[in-house]
Amino acid sequence: MKLIKLVSALMLAGLLAACSPENVKDGDDAAADNNQQSQNTDGAQTGGINGDGTAGGTALGGATVSYEKSAINDVNNVLAEKVIYFDFDSDQISAEYQELIAHHGKYLAANPDMSVRLEGHADERGSREYNVALAHRRAQSVRRLVLFEGVNAEQVTIISYGEEKPVALGHDDEAWRLNRRVELVYEAR
Amino acid sequence: MLQMSVKKILSIVLLLAFFLSTAQAALRVEITKGVDGAVPIAVVPFELTGNAVNTANVSDIVALDLQRSGKFLPIEKNKLIATPKDLEEVNYKLWRIAGIDHLVIGKLKVIKPNQYEVSFRLIDVFKGAQVLGYQFAANDSSLRGISHHISDLIYEKITGQKGAFDTKVAYVTVERKQGVQPSYKLQVADTDGYNPQTVLNSTQPIMSPSWSPDGNRLAYVSFEKRKPEIYIQNLYSQQRDKVTSFKGINGAPVWSPDGKKIALTLSKKGNPDIYILTLATKKLKQITKHWGIDTEPSWTPDGSELVFTSSRTGKPQIYRVSASGGSAKRVTFEGRYNASPEISKDGKTLIFIQGEGNVFKVASMDLQTGYVQALTDGPLDESPSFSPNGSMILYASTDKFKGVLAAVSTDGRFKQKLVLSEGDVREPTWGPFRK
C-alpha cells in the first residue's frame, strides 16, 4: 500500500518535473514601457503645440508654477516633483507635501484629458500583504487631496506594490525613507 | 558556497554544508541553533553496487533530513564505529556502548543507468532488532523523493509523528540585475531546497502563494498585467485561471481547509477588507467592513473562523472573526506590530510576525494561555507557515540581507537556514502531506 502511494507520489513528482515554466508574456510589460515612453513623447509634443509654457507664475522657492498641459514635463515646474514620502507604517501626508499634491490636483483639474496613476509603495519592514494594504492607503491619501481640487475621479487610478518595488535597495533608514512613497505617473487619457 | 559567512553566524552550534555533485541547485543548509536533546542516530553510508554516476546519495539525504528536523543528531560519517551493510553484520553491543539508540543501514543497487533499487533497515539497538525495513524501485528523478520518504518512515517510527520531508515548499524568488527588469519566479521545491521548479516567471511582482489542501494547486497574486490579480494554477496540468481582478488590491489568497473557498483581501470598495470567495459558484462574501486595513486572512483548522491583520486600532494587530462575518475579536495585545497570522492544525498555537523598532521576528502565541514567545531573532523575518506535521515553522529570513528560507522548531529550540544560490527568496509556504 505504501509502495503504491509512493509510486503515485513519484509519478506526480515526475509530472511536476516535466512541467515547463509558464512564461508570462513579456509583451505586457514591454508594451507598458513603450506606453510610458510614448507618453513622455506625447507630453513633449503637446508642449510644442501649446508653445506657451510660461503662463502661471514663479513660486518663491524658484520653481515655476504652471498648469499648462506641457508643464508636467517641465523640470523647472513645481509639478516636476512627482514622489510623496511617508513615515513608517503611516498613510498620513505631511504638511510639506500637501501643497505639492494640491498643485498636481490643480493641474489635473485644468487638464481633464490627463490622468495620473498613483503607485503606492512601502519599505521592506513588516509583512508583505500588510504593506500592500498600507501602500494602497498611502495612494488613497494622495488621491483624496488630488480630488479635493475638483479633479474628475476617473482621472486618478491607484495601484499598490507594497514593498515589492523598492527604488533604494539598501537596508537602512535612508533606503527605507526613499521606499515609503507614492509615485505620480501621468498618462494622456 | 560555504564562504566565510560561517564565522558571522553567532549562534552556530552545528554547521553542515551539503553539496550536490550534479549541481542542479547550489544551496547551503546551516543549522544555526541545535538542540541538546536531539537523539543520536547512526546513518551508515549505504552500500553502493553497480556503476553509479552522479547518483543522489540516499544516506546523506536521510541523515540531513533527520538532522534538519531538530530531533535527531546523526553521527558524523568519519566518527562511525562500524559500517555494517547487512543485519547480520550489526554488533549490537558495540553500538550500545557508543550510546547510539538507532541505526540505519541500507543499499543502493544500480541495475542499469537510471534504474535503481534502494533498501533500508532501521535497527533499534537496545531491542537488538530491525524495527522497519523497505525496498523501493527508483530512477534518477525519483531517487531524492524516495530518500525523503525513507526519512519520513524513520522519523515516524521513532517519534510517532508523521514525517514531512517528502513534501514540497513553494516560494517566490527575485533577481535584480543592473539595467534589466527584475525577474520574479514562483517556485516549488523539495523541503531541502532541491529540485526547484519554476511555476511562473514574470518581470512584475508575484506574491502570496497558497497551497490547495490537496497539494495540486497554488493560488497566488501576480502583477503581470501591471495590476494585482489572483490566479489559481494547477501544478501538474499547468491550467491557470484568473480568480479575481477587481479594482484595487487583489491580495492574500488563502485556501479554506476543505479546498472549496478562498479567503482574500480586496479593496474594491476603497479600503482593504477581507472577503471569502466560493470557488465553484464564484460567490463573493464580504467578511470585514472597517475603515482600517484588514488583510492577511488565515483559516482556523475547522474552517469556521479567520484570523487576520488589522490596523483598526492604529497599528497592525491580529484579530479573529467568524467565517460567516460579524464582529472581530482582538487576539494580540503585546507589542506594537503583530501581523501575518497562521493557526496550527491542532488549533492551539498562533504564529505571526512581531515587530519592535526595526526588528521583526517570528513569534508564537499559546491560544489557551495567551503566552507569547519570540521564536527567531529577526531582523527581517517574514511569512511564517507551519510544516504539515506542525513540528516546524518555515519563514523568510535574511542572510547578509539576502532573502533565504529558514525554519524553526515550534518550540523555538532548533533553527536552520536554507540558502539558495539564486536571488532573494521570500514568502515560503509549506505544502500539505502527499495524498
Convert the pLDDT of each residue in A17-59 to its tens digit: 444 444 444 434 433 333 333 333 332 222 222 333 334 454 4
Residue ranges of domains in chain A, CATH in brackets: 69-176 (3.30.1330.60)
Residue B416 pLDDT exceeds 80: yes
Which chain A residues touch B if contact means CB-CB below 8 Å? 2-3, 5-6, 9-10, 12-17, 19, 21-26, 28-29, 32, 89, 124-130, 132-134, 136-137, 140, 158-162, 164-165, 169, 171
The per-residue pLDDT for range B354-392, each reduced to its tens digit, is: 999 899 999 999 999 999 999 999 899 999 999 999 999
Residues B76-85: what's their mean pLDDT? 92
- Within 8 A of B228 by CB-CB distance, chain A residues are 132, 159-160
CB of A93 closer than 8 Å to CB of A84 = yes
**Which of B223, B291, B342 has the most A C-beta neighbours within 10 Å, making it the best mutation to test the interface with A?**
B223
**Å between B118 CA and nearest CA of chain A:** 13
Cα–Cα distance for residue pair A27/A20, rounded to 1 Å: 19
Dump strand ranges (E) for B86-196.
102-112, 115-124, 129-138, 168-175, 183-190
Q: In chain A, whose CA is at the least distance from the CA of B140?
A: A14
User: What are the start and end residues of each CATH 3.40.50.10070 domain in chain B?
Assistant: 38-159
Residue B408 pLDDT exceeds 50: yes
User: What are the start and end residues of each CATH 2.120.10.30 domain in chain B?
Assistant: 168-430
Residue A153 pLDDT exceeds 60: yes
Classify the phi-psi angles of A149: left when phi > 0, otherwise alpha if psi is within -120 to 50, otherwise beta.
alpha
Which of residues A10 and B319 earns the better pLDDT score? B319
Cβ within 8 Å, pair B360-A134: no
Strand-strand pairing, B72-74 and B39-43: parallel
Cβ within 8 Å, pair B197-A26: no
Across all residues in chain B, what is the average pLDDT?
A: 90
CB of B336 closer than 8 Å to CB of B355 = yes
Residue A77, pLDDT score: 93
Cβ within 8 Å, pair A2-B134: yes
Q: What is the DSSP letter of B193?
A: S
Cα–Cα distance for residue pair A104/B220, rounded to 1 Å: 35
**Model pTM?**
0.85
* B310 Cβ under 8 Å from any chain A Cβ: no
Cβ within 8 Å, pair A124-B380: yes
The per-residue pLDDT for range A57-96, each reduced to its tens digit, is: 544 556 789 999 999 999 999 999 999 999 999 999 999 9
Residue A180, pLDDT score: 98
Residues B256-268: what's their mean pLDDT? 98
B residues 404-433 closer than 8 Å to A (CB): 426-427
Q: How confident is the model at residue B58 (pLDDT cuts 50, 70, 90)?
A: very high
Residue B135 pLDDT exceeds 70: yes
CB of A137 closer than 8 Å to CB of A129 = no
Residue B179, pLDDT score: 87
**Å between B199 CA and nearest CA of chain A:** 5
Alpha carbons within 13 A on the beta-carbon side of B278: 7
Classify the phi-psi angles of B295: left when phi > 0, otherwise alpha if psi is within -120 to 50, otherwise beta.
beta
- Within 8 A of A130 by CB-CB distance, chain B residues are 293, 295-296, 309, 311, 316, 339-340
- Within 8 A of A158 by CB-CB distance, chain B residues are 248
* B312 Cβ under 8 Å from any chain A Cβ: no
- Within 8 A of B226 by CB-CB distance, chain A residues are 28-29, 32, 159
B residues 131-190 closer than 8 Å to A (CB): 134, 136, 141-142, 145-146, 149, 166, 176, 181, 185, 188
Could you say which architecture CATH assigns to the domain B168-430? 6 Propeller (2.120)
Q: In chain B, whose CA is at the least distance from the CA of A4?
A: B136
CA distances in angstroms from A166 to A120, A121, A169, B356, listed in the order given: 11, 8, 6, 22
Residues B395-411: what's their mean pLDDT? 89
Residues A94-121: what's their mean pLDDT? 96
Most confident of A13-27, B146-160, B396-410: B146-160
CB of A110 closer than 8 Å to CB of A66 = no
**Å between B267 CA and nearest CA of chain A:** 9
Q: What is the DSSP string of chain A?
A: -HHHHHHHHHHHHHHHHHPPPEEPPHHHHHHHHHHHHHHHHHHHHHHHHH-----SEE-TTS-EE--SGGGGG-TTBGGG--EEE--TT--PPPHHHHHHHHHHHHHHHH-TTEEEEEEEE--SSS-HHHHHHHHHHHHHHHHHHHHTTT--GGGEEEEEEETSS-S----SHHHHHHHSEEEEEEEE-
- Within 8 A of B152 by CB-CB distance, chain A residues are none
Could you say which architecture CATH assigns to the domain B38-159? 3-Layer(aba) Sandwich (3.40)
